[in-house]
Protein backbone atom coordinates (compact mmCIF):
# COMPACT_ATOMS: atom_id res chain seq x y z
CA UNK A 1 0.00 0.00 0.00
CA UNK A 2 1.31 3.43 -0.92
CA UNK A 3 1.21 6.32 1.53
CA UNK A 4 1.44 9.97 0.54
CA UNK A 5 4.67 11.52 1.82
CA UNK A 6 4.00 14.50 4.08
CA UNK A 7 7.56 15.71 4.73
CA UNK A 8 11.18 14.61 4.46
CA UNK A 9 14.68 15.24 5.72
CA UNK A 10 18.03 14.11 4.31
CA UNK A 11 21.53 13.31 5.51
CA UNK A 12 24.86 12.60 3.80
CA UNK A 13 27.68 11.25 5.99
CA UNK A 14 30.95 12.35 4.38
CA UNK A 15 33.09 10.08 6.57
CA UNK A 16 31.14 6.88 5.86
CA UNK A 17 30.00 7.90 2.35
CA UNK A 18 26.38 6.95 3.14
CA UNK A 19 23.19 8.90 2.84
CA UNK A 20 19.63 8.64 4.00
CA UNK A 21 16.27 10.21 3.36
CA UNK A 22 13.72 10.09 6.15
CA UNK A 23 10.10 10.28 5.06
CA UNK A 24 7.06 11.15 7.15
CA UNK A 25 4.16 9.22 5.62
CA UNK A 26 1.58 9.66 8.38
CA UNK A 27 1.53 12.16 11.22
CA UNK A 28 4.35 10.95 13.51
CA UNK A 29 5.25 7.86 11.40
CA UNK A 30 8.60 7.79 9.62
CA UNK A 31 10.57 5.53 7.29
CA UNK A 32 14.29 5.99 6.60
CA UNK A 33 15.73 4.88 3.26
CA UNK A 34 19.52 4.48 3.22
CA UNK A 35 22.02 4.17 0.39
CA UNK A 36 25.76 4.35 -0.18
CA UNK A 37 25.05 5.53 -3.74
CA UNK A 38 24.90 9.33 -3.75
CA UNK A 39 22.97 9.26 -7.05
CA UNK A 40 20.12 7.35 -5.42
CA UNK A 41 19.92 9.87 -2.60
CA UNK A 42 19.98 12.78 -5.08
CA UNK A 43 17.29 11.17 -7.25
CA UNK A 44 15.00 10.72 -4.24
CA UNK A 45 15.58 14.35 -3.20
CA UNK A 46 14.88 15.54 -6.74
CA UNK A 47 11.57 13.68 -6.78
CA UNK A 48 10.59 15.03 -3.37
CA UNK A 49 11.54 18.64 -4.18
CA UNK A 50 10.20 18.94 -7.71
CA UNK A 51 7.29 16.56 -8.04
CA UNK A 52 4.07 15.90 -6.25
CA UNK A 53 2.38 14.07 -4.93
CA UNK A 54 5.06 11.51 -4.01
CA UNK A 55 4.13 8.20 -2.39
CA UNK A 56 5.99 5.67 -0.24
CA UNK A 57 5.29 1.96 -0.64
CA UNK A 58 6.24 0.34 2.66
CA UNK A 59 5.91 -3.23 1.32
CA UNK A 60 8.28 -2.70 -1.61
CA UNK A 61 10.51 -0.04 -0.02
CA UNK A 62 10.25 2.50 -2.85
CA UNK A 63 8.90 5.95 -3.62
CA UNK A 64 6.83 6.81 -6.66
CA UNK A 65 5.22 9.83 -8.24
CA UNK A 66 1.51 10.46 -8.43
CA UNK A 67 -0.41 10.77 -11.67
CA UNK A 68 0.62 13.80 -13.73
CA UNK A 69 -0.29 14.83 -17.29
CA UNK A 70 2.37 14.35 -19.96
CA UNK A 71 4.23 17.52 -20.94
CA UNK A 72 3.42 19.51 -17.81
CA UNK A 73 6.97 20.88 -17.57
CA UNK A 74 6.96 22.17 -21.15
CA UNK A 75 3.68 24.01 -20.64
CA UNK A 76 4.96 25.78 -17.53
CA UNK A 77 8.19 26.93 -19.22
CA UNK A 78 6.79 28.30 -22.51
CA UNK A 79 6.82 32.10 -22.68
CA UNK A 80 3.54 33.86 -23.41
CA UNK A 81 3.24 35.08 -27.00
Q: How confident is the model at residue 57 (pLDDT cuts 50, 70, 90)?
A: very high
Amino acid 69: pLDDT: 77
Tally of domains in the chain: 1
* C-alpha to C-alpha distance for 52 and 34, rounded to whole angstroms: 21
So what's the pLDDT on residue 7? Answer: 96
More confident residue, 81 or 17: 17
Is pLDDT above 80 for 70?
no
Higher pLDDT: 34 or 51? It is: 34
Say which residue, 14 or 67, is predicted with more confidence.
14
Whether the predicted pLDDT of 66 surpasses 90: no
Domain that holds residue 63: 2-77
Distance, in Å, from the CA atom of 5 to the CA atom of 66, rounded to the nearest integer, reads: 11
Calculate the alpha carbon distances from 8 to 45, 70, 73 in Å: 9, 26, 23
Amino acid sequence: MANKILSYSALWDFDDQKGSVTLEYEKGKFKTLESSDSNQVLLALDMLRNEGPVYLDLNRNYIRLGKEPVGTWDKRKKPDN
